[in-house]
């Protein structure tokens, strides 16, 4: 007898403008993550990236190539990000129009601490090593930014700064 289970599919976007990257800041800098979220019924992953980035930052983007696939399996990660297994598809995205971030139309709120909500920000690439972003894909992200070329990469959490 087989057992089925739910895997959440999310779509995220790496948006770079000059020497800055778009990130969502949580709790006034407690941690950051790549903009994006769950794919909704009736939409493609690319449509989800566009919608999520717009909802979180007010920015319009064009979705480019898939650059990372990130797998989160709760049992292997001490349930760091909750109980639901997740596959995140991370795409390179490009700005359409200006780079002025607007307040989120649908703010992200940390379910474990509702007082922690997100705000999109342009973060200098030179300062990425000094902030706490989850998942910690610093090495892979910096390699992509430095070379601006890639082979799609499959990453399994947990990742750490060690």
Tell me the domain boundaries of the chain: 8-96+108-152
Which of 108, 114, 115 is closest to 134 using CA atoms?
Answer: 108
Query: What is the chain's mean pLDDT, rounded?
Result: 79
Asked if residues 12 and 46 have their Cβ atoms less than 8 Å apart, the reply is: no
pLDDT interval class at 78 (50, 70, 90): low
What mean pLDDT comes out for the span 116-120? Answer: 76
Instruction: Look at residue 7 in the predicted model and tell me its pLDDT.
Output: 80
Q: What is the mean pLDDT of residues 76-98?
A: 79
Q: Provide the pLDDT confidence category of residue 161 given band limits of 50, 70 and 90.
A: very low
pLDDT of residue 154: 56
Sign of CA dihedral 101, 103, 105, 109: positive
Q: How far is CA 131 from CA 4, 104, 138, in A?
A: 38, 22, 10
Give the pLDDT of residue 36: 92
Higher pLDDT, 73 or 79: 73
The correct CATH number of 8-96+108-152 out of 1.10.150.120, 3.90.79.10, 3.30.70.260, 3.30.390.30 is: 3.90.79.10
Three-state DSSP state, 24: strand
- The sign of the CA dihedral 110, 48, 21, 107 is negative
What's this model's pTM, rounded to 2 decimal places?
Answer: 0.80
Map tokens 């976007």 to a residue.
Answer: 13
Q: What mean pLDDT comes out for the span 126-155?
A: 73
């Amino acid at each position: 007898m087989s057992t089925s289970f739910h895997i959440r599919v999310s779509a995220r976007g790496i948006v770079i403008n000059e020497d800055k990257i778009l990130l969502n800041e949580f709790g006034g800098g407690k941690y950051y993550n790549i903009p994006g979220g769950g794919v909704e019924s009736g939409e493609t992953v690319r449509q989800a990236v566009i919608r999520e980035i717009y909802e979180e930052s007010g920015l319009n983007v064009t979705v480019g190539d898939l650059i990372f696939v990130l797998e989160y399996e709760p049992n292997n990660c001490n349930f760091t990000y909750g109980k639901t297994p997740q596959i995140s598809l991370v795409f390179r995205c490009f700005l359409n129009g200006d780079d002025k971030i607007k307040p989120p139309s649908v703010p992200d709120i940390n379910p474990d601490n509702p007082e922690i909500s997100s705000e999109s920000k342009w973060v200098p690439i030179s300062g990425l090593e000094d902030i706490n972003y989850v998942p910690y894909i610093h090495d892979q992200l910096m390699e992509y930014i430095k070379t601006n070329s890639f082979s799609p990469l499959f990453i399994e959490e947990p990742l750490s700064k060690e």
